[in-house]
A and B are shown apart, each in its own frame.
Chain A
Amino acid sequence: MEREQLIRTMESILGTEGVVHEREQLRSYECDGLMNYRVVPDLVVLPESAEHVQQIIRVCYEEGIPFVARGSGTGLSGGALPVQSGVLIVLSRMRKILEVDIPNQRIVVEPGVINIWVSQEVADEGYYYAPDPASQVVSSIGGNLAENSGGVHCLKYGFTTNHVMGAEVVLADGSVVHIGGGKAPDAPGYELLGAFVGSEGTLGIATKITLRLLRVPEAVRTLLAAFEDTEEAGGAVSGIIGGGIVPAAIEMMDALCIEAVETAVHPGFPQAGAILIVELDGPEAEVADQFDRVIKVCEENNASEIKVAEDDAERALFWKGRKAAFAAMGRIANDYYVQDAVVPRTELGAVLKRISELGEEYGMRIANVFHAGDGNLHPLVLYDNDNPGEAEQAEELAADIVFACLDHGGSLTGEHGIGVDKKKFMPKMFTDDDMNTMQLLRCAFDPHGLCNPGKIFPTPRLCGERPGPFHMHPIQRAGLAENF
């Protein structure tokens, strides 16, 4: 189908206001939160309903046009990077909260609904939605689903995958399936929902999502503890976890990060080599007792200062400082590269040491902010784009950090996803057999590879389908894939 004809077809479905095709306007969709990859999509469509999504995908399927879903575009691995000659399906006009079911502790939303709206919607009832990625004021539930977003409280409460109970999904051929029980548990069949969440938009587009709501805890207590260095702070983390406490969150920031955050949002963080923010929540009596234990552990690990949040306002300030960490880097460096990797908790000390060595080897500054409780590191490599070659060097250093994490038994990514950014590293963590097996799942969902192609896997595979509507696959034609 010619582009002009495609535009007219999409306009007949969505109206002229639902289709973006002017060059200049298309440019605003050329990347997501990861800005070093850019592709201008051929066409952007803005559906308002599940039926729209289905109609759009049917056209794509019949014409063999690849498509990519995008929520708020805050992803950090290029998961919503458009594909050339493809359609970008932007779900930000699907923002309805469809149903609140407090008796069953469920809420049903459209994919464009912003994460924080969910908790706001049910706050008066004493409920909230647990996954809270730092982007929660802008990121969408559909995007969270695609990336299996985490957040600072996932140590205790789990990730998006533990809170999504059902989804209506439009598959790559335009058919609609309802997976997961939604309100009832244990739907018979394979755990398709568990496989779908975190599949980075490659298995279909969720158009209706059922989430689990949690009761707001009776008590929440938060402290901030300062240490001479990350090693001592790490000792405190081990002491807390080893003591049988599962905090709602334990976050660590190093000196460079503290400096940046203090300059940017003035949360009143002490000057220190490292700080921990520890939050406990639950029944009052339990929290009170465990909070005392946490303070004791921090003292035993030579905390130079312990600040207990006296009220909600002070707690909010601590978290404001933590959640502003990425953005605050702009205060101490022109540019920075965000890394996301995981190590087993007991390897944290060794890996931090290695990161600091790598910084010295490269002669670059690295700020560390991370979810210490689950070993999820976010080293920020600082550089200046005006100095030729520094951006490439920062990227190389960030890659070496990930390799160090893998050497210590970790993972390529804890929450930002593989996307386009890390697909080249997948073979360092998985064998060809591992990846081919994963792609069997993709072949079951999307045999023609139309749904967000070119993400996650370094070598896309075709699925050995009998020639159907397509005689030659567009990806194959471009020499980008081989037959499976």
Chain B
Amino acid sequence: MDTSTKNVSLEDLQKIVGEEHAREATEEDVVDGVAPSFVAEPGSTEEISELMKLASEEGLVAAPRGSGTKMDLGNPPRDLDLIVSTARMNEIIEHTPGDQVVRTQAGLKLQDLQEQLASADQMLGIDPPETRAGATVGGIVAANSSGPRRYSYGTVRDLIIGITVVLPDGTIAKAGGKVVKNVAGYDLSKLFTGSLGTLGVIATCNFRLHPKPEAARTVAVELGDTLSAGQAAQAIVHAQLVPSAVELHWSEEQKLLSILIEGIPPGVEAQAETASYLLKGFGEVRTLSDEEVEDLGPLDPPGVGDEEVAIQVSAPPAELTGVLDSVLGATERRGVTPRITGHAGVGTTYVALSGGDEEARVQVVEELREIWVRRGGSVVVRKAPPSTKSRLEAWGPVGDYLGLLRRVKDKFDPGGNLNPGRFVGGI
């Protein structure tokens, strides 16, 4: 893809971000087997803009990076010269507790943000598993990462209210604002959510916040089979309960559906009682201790092992039993071992595939795609060794909107300078 002469030296980058903030890339910076030349850590939105201007003028291919917890997501990049790291942009810009709004720089780690907000009894209502690994708010927005609480708070696309981005040509643009209710102009915050660094570099984000719950309890039921898993989840989501999360944990060792209930103490108590009552018919019900909850995860996402292939199956939530049956069937027939967790109330199921050979794991993914894409869902490969990735497209087939996705990409990044190849349809 080297179509232009890339006459950029380390000194050129250092001139923009300062000598100590640009360096030659190392083994650690390789993305899915593709090695960049440089890493630059801009300290401001303006510095990102200068870097992007230089990159597009010189034909450098850039990839934004926060803490790098999700660099495995998507297809291998077609090309990569420069990593633009937001690591130094880690400040809270503004937090007015009375407004329940926070403005942050993109490189701020979510766990640092949550810690700050906790002192005002507030929180950002997202809990993606890579938080513990140091994921940044910008990275979470770029990947639209979510966790168990999306059942009640939605995903980050529902909580982001404003954004500043830097386009590949260096243009600094903002959208939204710092008020929760706002319909002025297009909602580019949502467009950039989940765009995986292919449209621009996210520089700052504004979010709406929620009060931190005073109390929490997790009630879980031991499941006997896939049918009871689906039925138990349906019993909870159709009740007048308002759980924060409805989670499935399914492996050889244990099969549980856990219900996280948060709020004020009397409310939590009453709801936990109702949940236990509703779940009794499906198996043994108990309240989990904090340690058990911690161990269950999903803070330890499937797919951490190097040999594993991690996939996300998205399907209508009422089809949970069908999803489990399809996964168990496809893996058993090929001698592959699945480890399953999922946001059962939402319809997302994460499966880590280990054992069997690569061919078997690829076939499992293909079979699941065949089933769930036809039924309106998707099967996305979230993590896989490079050899598996070369055989499996990460995102799977998408519908009639692929052409529109391409046109959006072409408008925002006409030179193809940002993260080429990693996104849907080779975008």
> A residues within 8 Å of B by Cβ?
101-106, 126, 147-148, 150, 154, 158-159, 161-162, 171, 175-179, 181-192, 194-195, 197-199, 215-218, 238, 241-242, 244-246, 282-286, 288-290, 342-346, 371, 374-376, 409-418, 422, 426, 429-431, 433-438, 440-445, 456, 463
Q: Which of B386-427 contact A (CB under 8 A)?
A: 395-396, 398-405, 407-408, 410-412, 423-425
For the complex, what is the distance from the CA of A433 to the CA of B185, rounded to whole Å? 13
Instruction: Decide: B185 and A426 in contact? CB cutoff 8 A.
Output: yes
Kindly state whether residue B378 has any CB partner on chain A within 8 Å: yes
For the complex, what is the distance from the CA of A284 to the CA of B239, rounded to whole Å? 13
Question: Which B residue sits closest to A408, measured CB to CB?
Answer: B179
A185-B98 CB under 8 A given contacts A244-B211, A374-B180, A433-B172: no
For the complex, what is the distance from the CA of A32 to the CA of B403, rounded to whole Å? 34
Instruction: Decide: A197 and B97 in contact? CB cutoff 8 A.
Output: no
Question: Which B residue sits closest to A158, measured CB to CB?
Answer: B158
On chain A, the residues within 8 Å of B177 by CB distance are: 409-411, 429
Question: Which A residue sits closest to B179, measured CB to CB?
Answer: A342
Instruction: Decide: A438 and B264 in contact? CB cutoff 8 A.
Output: no
Instruction: Decide: A375 and B173 in contact? CB cutoff 8 A.
Output: no
A286-B264 CB under 8 A given contacts A188-B395, A197-B187, A215-B240: yes
On chain B, the residues within 8 Å of A148 by CB distance are: 183, 187
In the complex, the 8 A-B pairs of residues with the closest C-beta atoms, listed nearest first: A194-B190, A286-B267, A103-B318, A285-B270, A437-B173, A244-B211, A184-B377, A183-B316
Question: Which A residue sits closest to B121, measured CB to CB?
Answer: A244
Instruction: Decide: B182 and A188 in contact? CB cutoff 8 A.
Output: no
Kindly state whether residue B193 has any CB partner on chain A within 8 Å: yes
Instruction: Decide: A444 and B186 in contact? CB cutoff 8 A.
Output: no
For the complex, what is the distance from the CA of A101 to the CA of B376, rounded to whole Å? 14
Instruction: Decide: B183 and A413 in contact? CB cutoff 8 A.
Output: yes
On chain B, the residues within 8 Å of A181 by CB distance are: 314, 376-378
Instruction: Decide: A374 and B181 in contact? CB cutoff 8 A.
Output: yes
A434-B174 CB under 8 A given contacts A409-B179, A414-B179: yes
For the complex, what is the distance from the CA of A436 to the CA of B186, rounded to whole Å? 11
Question: Which A residue sits closest to B162, measured CB to CB?
Answer: A411
Instruction: Decide: B187 and A154 in contact? CB cutoff 8 A.
Output: no
Instruction: Decide: A441 and B408 in contact? CB cutoff 8 A.
Output: yes
Instruction: Decide: B194 and A190 in contact? CB cutoff 8 A.
Output: yes
Q: Which of B358-396 contact A (CB under 8 A)?
A: 372, 375-378, 380, 395-396
> B residues within 8 Å of A by Cβ?
96-101, 121, 144, 154, 157-158, 165, 167, 171-175, 177-188, 190-191, 193-195, 199, 210-212, 214, 234, 237-242, 263-264, 266-267, 269-271, 274, 312, 314-318, 346-348, 372, 375-378, 380, 395-396, 398-405, 407-408, 410-412, 423-425
Instruction: Decide: A343 and B316 in contact? CB cutoff 8 A.
Output: no
Question: Which B residue sits closest to A416, measured CB to CB?
Answer: B183
Instruction: Decide: A189 and B182 in contact? CB cutoff 8 A.
Output: no
Question: Which A residue sits closest to B211, measured CB to CB?
Answer: A244
For the complex, what is the distance from the CA of A190 to the CA of B407, rounded to whole Å? 11
Q: A177-B401, A426-B184, A435-B185 given. 17 additional CB < 8 A pairs?
A: A104-B317, A147-B183, A162-B158, A175-B403, A184-B375, A186-B144, A188-B378, A198-B183, A215-B239, A246-B211, A285-B266, A345-B98, A345-B99, A411-B182, A415-B181, A431-B174, A445-B407
For the complex, what is the distance from the CA of A89 to the CA of B180, rounded to whole Å? 32
For the complex, what is the distance from the CA of A409 to the CA of B172, rounded to whole Å? 20
A198-B173 CB under 8 A given contacts A176-B400, A178-B401, A344-B179: no
On chain B, the residues within 8 Å of A147 by CB distance are: 183
6 A-B Cβ contacts within 8 A? A187-B378, A189-B398, A189-B423, A283-B263, A285-B266, A345-B100
For the complex, what is the distance from the CA of A145 to the CA of B291, rounded to whole Å? 44
Instruction: Decide: B239 and A154 in contact? CB cutoff 8 A.
Output: no
Question: Which A residue sits closest to B261, measured CB to CB?
Answer: A283
Instruction: Decide: A412 and B399 in contact? CB cutoff 8 A.
Output: no
Instruction: Decide: A103 and B401 in contact? CB cutoff 8 A.
Output: no
Instruction: Decide: B240 and A246 in contact? CB cutoff 8 A.
Output: no
On chain B, the residues within 8 Å of A161 by CB distance are: 158, 187, 190
For the complex, what is the distance from the CA of A284 to the CA of B273, rounded to whole Å? 13
Instruction: Decide: B184 and A418 in contact? CB cutoff 8 A.
Output: yes
A289-B186 CB under 8 A given contacts A342-B179, A344-B99, A375-B181: no
For the complex, what is the distance from the CA of A105 to the CA of B345, rounded to whole Å? 11
Instruction: Decide: A104 and B187 in contact? CB cutoff 8 A.
Output: no
Question: Which A residue sits closest to B196, measured CB to CB?
Answer: A190
A198, A345, A440: which has the most chain B beta carbons within 10 Å?
A440
Question: Which B residue sits closest to A371, measured CB to CB?
Answer: B181
On chain A, the residues within 8 Å of B186 by CB distance are: 195, 198-199, 438, 441-442, 456
On chain A, the residues within 8 Å of B410 by CB distance are: 444
On chain A, the residues within 8 Å of B400 by CB distance are: 175-178
For the complex, what is the distance from the CA of A178 to the CA of B178, rounded to whole Å? 31
Instruction: Decide: B175 and A434 in contact? CB cutoff 8 A.
Output: yes
For the complex, what is the distance from the CA of A283 to the CA of B274, rounded to whole Å? 10
On chain A, the residues within 8 Å of B423 by CB distance are: 189
Instruction: Decide: B405 and A190 in contact? CB cutoff 8 A.
Output: yes
B86 to A: closest C-beta gap in Å: 19
For the complex, what is the distance from the CA of A440 to the CA of B199, rounded to whole Å? 11
Instruction: Decide: A433 and B173 in contact? CB cutoff 8 A.
Output: yes
Instruction: Decide: B211 and A374 in contact? CB cutoff 8 A.
Output: no
Instruction: Decide: B264 and A104 in contact? CB cutoff 8 A.
Output: no
Instruction: Decide: A444 and B121 in contact? CB cutoff 8 A.
Output: no
For the complex, what is the distance from the CA of A429 to the CA of B399, rounded to whole Å? 36
B48 to A: closest C-beta gap in Å: 14
Instruction: Decide: A418 and B185 in contact? CB cutoff 8 A.
Output: yes
Instruction: Decide: A195 and B188 in contact? CB cutoff 8 A.
Output: yes
For the complex, what is the distance from the CA of A442 to the CA of B411, rounded to whole Å? 9
Instruction: Decide: B318 and A438 in contact? CB cutoff 8 A.
Output: no
Which of A106, A178, A285, A344 sits near B399, CB closer than 8 Å? A178
On chain A, the residues within 8 Å of B183 by CB distance are: 147-148, 198, 411, 413-418
